[in-house]
A = this chain, B = another copy of it.
Amino acid sequence: MHLAFFIFTPGDTPMTQFHETITHIGQQAKDAAKILRTAATASKNKALLRAASLLRDRMDDILTANHEDMMKADERQLAPALKDRLLLNPARVEAMATGLEQIAALPDPVGAVDQLRYRPSGIQVGHMRVPLGVIGIIYESRPNVTADAAALCLKSGNAAVLRGGSEAICSNRAIADILRQALTEHQLPVASIQLIQQTERELVGAMLRSEQYIDVIIPRGGKSLIERISAESRIPVIKHLDGICHVYIDASADPEKAVAIAVNAKTHRYGVCNAMETLLIHADEAARLLPVIAAELLAKGVELRGCPRACQYVEAMQAASEEDWGTEYLAPVLSIRVVDDMEQAITHIERWSSGHTESIVTENHARGQRFLREVDSSSVMWNASTRFADGFEYGLGAEIGISTDRLHVRGPVGLEGLTTQKWIVLGNGEIRH
């Protein structure tokens, strides 16, 4: 029987309870957001820097809290990968503190005015960047998300409602307490950062229906979590699904660039969304380049699965199944397909890509331009490794995630993605005729 039933009181249903909890948190967040919207850049930065120093000062408290979570994880026999994500150590706490300092150092996006220009009527029209309002973050085991996400929301002038995994509740609470102390010390509303303490799943449902309080939901975690949240949410969701990324080596590729990019895109890191999962190669280059690329990948322990033509060039290659083209391996496995021309490469990408990142390797201007234009992914590259699809590499300074949505923000989401724009009009008494 679910915990929720134990808090059942006469006249209440459990669902009402969750609704009331969220209404209370939501109203506080909304009130905080009103103040945060126009909070001074200096106050936000000071609070972030203070939180960084408190994280270091209270290292022991955080590690003790994390130890409690780890003990429960042992009891519940969580998978080793999950426990590794949950674990905090001094280096990981230090990384959190450094992250907050980096966010403090970024330019404040709020209030930036652009494209202000005169219209024939005499008015000046432009945009001003403003916060989204209240952002709900739903995430799984990593406790560092508590600090990162809250800091990005604060810097961009948004109130954050955080809902971490139940397995990390003690760690998350310790971190959130520190952040909230820093807010209080710098006269910012403490409700700017709220951590939902209730660990019942039904609370997430109530959160996803609280569209009068929360302006956007950002889920961070595995694909099944994100799909469930998107399906259920009444609030707009900024989400990241698969990263099935392709590199296409064109007939006019520079061989050195082609080999370097293919090897880097696959082997720089395996478990990341911007790693290459499928290599497409022009038939004219397959004989020359596939054996070289395959040798380097095999030496690094990558398993290769190819189409019948690709298998002709590399002995140690297994036959790829139809399923391979649609799989995000997140592992040292690569599928390889030989194509007749760029059209075939683009058709393959249209059919199988998750719309995250694709790269062409070519020295041919017309084909490079066409690939950039025609491929409809959140990042499209020319002669560069797919591993560059990242907020830091793009110059955003920090990222809250990578969006595979089309609306509002695509690709790496930094501070700007957490804001919106309003129109401003400066006049001198103009009226409409």
Contact = CB atoms under 8 A, between A and B. Distances in A.
Interface of A: 34, 37-38, 111, 117, 119, 121, 123, 125, 128, 130, 132-133, 215-216, 236, 254, 256-257, 260-261, 263-265, 268, 350, 359, 372-374, 376-385, 387-389, 393-395, 406-408, 410-412, 420-432
A378 B125 contact: no
Given A350-B34, A374-B38, A408 B408 contact: yes
A407 B380 CA distance: 24
Contacts of A254: 429
A268 B130 contact: no
Contact of A382 (B236, B380, B395, B425): B425
A385 B257 contact: no
Contact of A422 (B125, B359, B376, B429): B376
A410 B422 contact: yes
A123 B424 contact: no
Contact of A424 (B38, B265, B268, B372): B372
B268 A383 contact: no
This protein's copies in its complex: 2
A151 to B, nearest CB: 21
Given A123-B384, A257-B428, 14 more contacts: A34-B350, A132-B406, A215-B407, A372-B424, A378-B423, A381-B424, A381-B425, A383-B426, A383-B427, A384-B429, A388-B427, A388-B430, A408-B408, A410-B420
Contacts of A411: 422-423
B432 A388 contact: yes
Contact of A37 (B37, B376, B428): B376
A406 B125 contact: no
A427 B384 contact: yes
Nearest to A396: B125
Contacts of A256: 429
A257 B431 CA distance: 9
A382 B426 contact: yes
A60 to B, nearest CB: 35
A261 B426 contact: no
A406 B133 contact: yes
A378 to B, nearest CB: 6
A256 B431 CA distance: 12
A423 B389 contact: yes
Contacts of A388: 121, 123, 125, 425, 427, 430, 432
B420 A384 contact: no
Contacts of A132: 406-407
Contacts of A119: 393-395
A268 B384 CA distance: 56
Contact of A430 (B125, B350, B385, B406): B385
A422 B426 CA distance: 32
A374 to B, nearest CB: 5
Contacts of A350: 34
Given A376-B37, A388-B123, A432-B393, A421 B410 contact: yes
